[in-house]
Chains A and B, each alone.
Chain A
């Protein structure tokens, strides 16, 4: 089955620094999303990005299928960016997402 590896597992930044989060996968890709998990547990969809580059404010997602990786770039980090970032992807056309273990980001003032 699909294997999803996220790195780093955790990251601490000073406010204003940039962050690069990685999601590596083992097989082909049909769908993928990046999520932010709030402290209470709910998921916020940041990007649906099965290929290419997408931007949203200070966030950029880049998925390179042939390299089997996707990245989430956070520029000018803020304390409110703290939380867990998850990638989830599906490879068999069966709409079953497999989640990575997440990156726990902490931004300090």
Chain B
């Protein structure tokens, strides 16, 4: 079956430092990877959508300078939260979609705590 693994599951970083999270698609080729953030007491916000062989598209309020994303192949993506502050805490999910499908499979998320 199609699975998406995210690593780490949870992490704590000091304010002003950076943190990298990874997303691995298993059992299928992830032509598109979407990164979302769920801040405390909020729903999921799309950070960016990455499609292989296309430019990564960031949503309003999110920038490459703050959340650089790498999507080097059809099974792996990573995102870094640079210079993390309190407002960056939350659950970061990646969702992967295979070519020809419209639905997403999501990982279990990386929960980021900033102290």
Question: In whole angstroms, how far apart are the Cα atoms of A101 and B44 in the complex?
Answer: 8
Q: Could you tell me the distance in whole angstroms from the C-beta of B106 to the nearest C-beta in chain A?
A: 4
Partner of B38, one of A31, A33, A41, A94: A41
Residues on B with C-beta less than 8 A from A12 are: none
Please count how many residues in chain B sit with their CB below 8 Å of the partner chain's CB atoms: 24
User: Chain A interface: which of B17-25, B65-73, B78-86, B95-103?
Assistant: B95-103
User: Chain B interface: which of A42-50, A60-68, A75-83?
Assistant: A42-50
Residues on B with C-beta less than 8 A from A31 are: 102-103
CB atoms of A97 and B43 under 8 A apart? no
Partner of A97, one of B104, B105, B107: B104
CB atoms of B108 and A40 under 8 A apart? yes
Residues on A with C-beta less than 8 A from B111 are: 41
CB atoms of A30 and B91 under 8 A apart? no
Measured CB to CB, the nearest residue on chain A to B44 is A99
Measured CB to CB, the nearest residue on chain B to A43 is B106
User: Looking at chain B's contact residues, is the secondary structure mostly helix, strand, loop, or mixed?
Assistant: strand
Question: In whole angstroms, how far apart are the Cα atoms of A97 and B34 in the complex?
Answer: 9
Q: Does chain A have a CB within 8 A of B32?
A: yes
Please count how many residues in chain A sit with their CB below 8 Å of the partner chain's CB atoms: 23
Q: Could you tell me the distance in whole angstroms from the C-beta of A94 to the nearest C-beta in chain B?
A: 7
Question: In whole angstroms, how far apart are the Cα atoms of A96 and B44 in the complex?
Answer: 12
Partner of A41, one of B34, B95, B105, B108: B108
CB atoms of B97 and A41 under 8 A apart? no
With most chain A CB atoms within 10 A of its CB, the pick from B38, B103, B106 is B103
Q: Does chain B have a CB within 8 A of A105?
A: no
Partner of B102, one of A41, A48, A101: A48
Question: In whole angstroms, how far apart are the Cα atoms of A48 and B97 in the complex?
Answer: 13
| Chain B contact residues, CB within 8 Å of chain A | 32, 34, 36, 38, 42-44, 46, 49, 51, 59, 91, 93, 95, 97, 102-109, 111
Extra contacts besides A43-B109, A99-B43 (4): CB < 8 Å: A41-B109, A45-B104, A45-B105, A88-B104
